[in-house]
Amino acid sequence: MQADSIPSNPPLHVEAVFEQWLEARMNAAWDGDRVKSASTKNHYRAIWKLWCQHLTDHQTRWHDAGPELVHAFLQKIRARRATNADGAVRSASVVSRDRYWTLIDRIYDWALRRELTRSNPAQAMLEADIPPTVLVESNVLNPILWRALPRAFPDPVQASTFDLRDIAILHLLYHHGLTGEEIREFLLADLVWPGGLEPMANEGTSVTRPVSIRIVGTRIRQAREITLAPTSQIALQQWLKARRMNPRLHGHDFLFMSNRANQLSIRMLFHLVTNVIERAATACAQEPPIKTGPQVIRNTVIHNWIASGLSMPEVCALAGLKNAKSLLRHRH
């Protein structure tokens, strides 16, 4: 087992993590988030039992599960057959498979926030493999919290070097709906400068604001170039100045680095976004949402694009999605 996959807290037994998650849902502050009926609890337990058996079949501990295991689980569910009272044989419904993914996603998201696991394998799946109808109200931020979010970003006036990095990341997420993986993979060479200049090559000059950024991806339509919002340009400019002044970060190609000069981890991004969302919720007297992390910001951006009247092809181009079917999970 790799050191990076070891949770900060002692890992719970696979059944205990479900029971603790269920208890938290039963006592959720917002009525719409609570699990109430006995039938719902039993349904969730049955799904989790199937997931536990799947993990056992693959000799994998729950906190070591990767996206490929979730994908295989959903494929197995798709192939299941059930017999009706009249003797007819039917396959598992699309809705059932979506619910299975949703439960795994919610439990791992809960465990990730409590540092019981290093990752959420449901969110790490390729976007094309995630069920397209699973987005619910808790997967986007409500308008009050969304408007309050930028006020919870670190103060650039009093910011440290890595606060400036975080501000730049948050602006890219908030204004452009990027994925956490896209943020992690950005290189300095992906920045596009006015007139094609590369001011970072000249240490003696001030850093001009980049005007856009290229996204290189493996999915269909993921590769694209986005025009940076003015606030994103300013935030990147400030981060690049601070980055250039830190000798430890010299000679590295990644745009965003950890304070140990490593590539950012998904876990670091998750905690950055979670902390900002929770600060914003406190400031505007809102209950913290069940879902946090970079994906919930991306969901909200895409939801807002759709609500603003942008056409499906326009939203797909901005988000790097291959077709309108991929947007179904972003509609209520």
Sign of the CA dihedral 298, 149, 113, 3? positive
**Is residue 174 within 8 Å of residue 297, measured between CB atoms?**
yes
Check residue 167 and give its pLDDT: 98
* DSSP assignments along 297-332, one per residue: HHHHHHHHHHHTT--HHHHHHHHT-SSGGGGGGG--
Check residue 326 and give its pLDDT: 61
Q: Which residues pair with 82 in a beta bridge?
A: 90
**Is residue 223 within 8 Å of residue 141, measured between CB atoms?**
no
Report the distance separating Cα 301 and Cα 307, nearest Å. Answer: 10
Check residue 197 and give its pLDDT: 63
**Is residue 28 within 8 Å of residue 290, measured between CB atoms?**
yes
Check residue 1 and give its pLDDT: 38
Report the distance separating Cα 237 and Cα 215, nearest Å. Answer: 18
CB atoms within 10 A of CB 251: 7
Check residue 8 and give its pLDDT: 47
- Please report, for residues 153, 237, 242, 312, the alpha-carbon distance to residue 164 in angstroms, rounded to integers and kept in the order given: 10, 10, 8, 34
**In 3D, which of 222, 227, 17, 203 has the Cα closest to residue 116?**
17
Consecutive 10-residue runs of the chain (332 residues): their mean pLDDT?
A: 46 87 76 67 91 95 93 82 46 63 87 85 73 55 91 94 97 96 94 75 60 87 93 95 93 93 91 94 86 89 82 88 65 40
Report the distance separating Cα 225 and Cα 325, nearest Å. Answer: 22
Report the distance separating Cα 309 and Cα 291, nearest Å. Answer: 25
Q: Is 33 helix (H, G, I), strand (E, B) or coil?
A: helix
Check residue 31 and give its pLDDT: 45
Long-range contact set of residues 56-63: C-beta below 8 Å, sequence gap at least 24: 61/11, 61/14, 62/11, 62/14, 62/17, 62/117, 63/5, 63/7, 63/11, 63/111, 63/116, 63/117, 63/118
pTM for this structure? 0.62
- Please report, for residues 6, 90, 169, 193, the alpha-carbon distance to residue 162 in angstroms, rounded to integers and kept in the order given: 25, 55, 10, 23
